[in-house]
């Protein structure tokens, strides 16, 4: 099988696991684990780090000022449903004298990251459910290095887990070691990429 939207390649994982060039018996399983690990990282962070290409997605604003989105590279069109009637007939611009919103973080492109927030600067977003329609390129242009390293580490643990059915492997120094769901070092690598959680009373 081929890896779909994985944050590491088969060759990288083979190197990580120290496999000999001719030892290919586990390649299919390793590819599966790369995908499983990549989606586990997505769930933990609340976003994804592959380039999804051109898509149309819908969002809600809870306060009329902020809209928290999936990772966005560029926006080609943004329309809103002002009357909550299912018709997205109002276009919001992001440039020039008609600027109505801004993409945040402001330095995302400079830092090689993606945008994940829309800030209203002229008027308020409608607050009906899914009232903001965004067409553009979603995801990340390249996988962030910490996400790549986290995938290698966590995937290696999952592959080793196959030979430890009770979640315990032997360690040279500690004797026995229990495998956790998320490696603590992996969690440190991906923690800063967690999408904000909005809580409203």
pLDDT at residue 175 in the model = 43
- Residue 92: cis peptide before it, omega within 30 degrees of 0: no
pLDDT in tens, 50-73: 999 999 999 999 999 999 999 999
Distance between CA atoms of 44 and 42, rounded to whole angstroms? 6
pLDDT in tens, 174-188: 444 444 567 888 999
pLDDT at residue 172 is higher than 50? no
pLDDT in tens, 13-36: 999 999 988 888 889 999 999 999
- Name the DSSP letter for residue 111: T
Report residue 39: phi and psi, to 5°. -70, -30
**E runs forming strands in 34-159:** 51-59, 66-80, 90-91, 101-104, 115-120, 132-139
Distance between CA atoms of 104 and 115, rounded to whole angstroms? 5
Domain map (residue ranges) of the chain: 10-48+143-191, 51-139
Token pair 């994940």: residue: 116
Torsion of CA 85, 81, 75, 116, to 10 degrees: -100
pLDDT at residue 78 in the model = 97
pTM for the model: 0.82
The whole-chain average pLDDT of the chain stands at 88
Q: Which is nearest to 80 in space by CA: 135, 155, 4? A: 135
pLDDT at residue 163 in the model = 62
pLDDT at residue 174 in the model = 44
Contact 32, 155 (CB under 8 A): no
pLDDT in tens, 86-138: 999 999 988 777 899 999 999 998 888 999 999 999 999 999 999 999 999 99
More confident residue, 196 or 138: 138
Read off the pLDDT band of 161 (50, 70, 90): confident
More confident residue, 180 or 189: 189
């Amino acid at each position: 099988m081929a890896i779909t939207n994985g944050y590491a390649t088969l060759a990288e994982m083979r190197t990580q696991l120290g496999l000999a060039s001719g030892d290919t018996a586990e390649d299919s399983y390793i590819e599966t684990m790369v995908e499983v690990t990549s989606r586990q990282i997505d769930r933990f962070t609340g976003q994804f780090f592959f380039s999804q290409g051109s898509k149309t997605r819908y969002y809600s604003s809870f306060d009329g000022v902020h809209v928290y989105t999936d990772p966005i590279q560029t926006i080609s069109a943004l329309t809103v449903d002002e009357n909550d009637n299912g018709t997205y007939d109002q276009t919001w611009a992001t440039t020039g004298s008609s600027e109505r919103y801004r993409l945040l973080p402001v330095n995302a492109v400079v830092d090689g990251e993606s945008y994940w927030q829309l800030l209203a600067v002229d008027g308020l977003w409608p607050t009906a459910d899914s009232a903001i329609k965004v067409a553009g390129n979603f995801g990340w242009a390249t996988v962030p290095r910490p996400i790549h390293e986290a995938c290698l580490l966590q995937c290696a643990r999952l592959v080793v887990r196959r030979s430890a059915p009770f979640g315990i492997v032997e360690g040279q120094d500690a004797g026995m070691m229990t495998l956790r769901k998320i490696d603590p070092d992996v969690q440190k690598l991906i923690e800063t990429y967690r999408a904000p959680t909005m809580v409203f009373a």
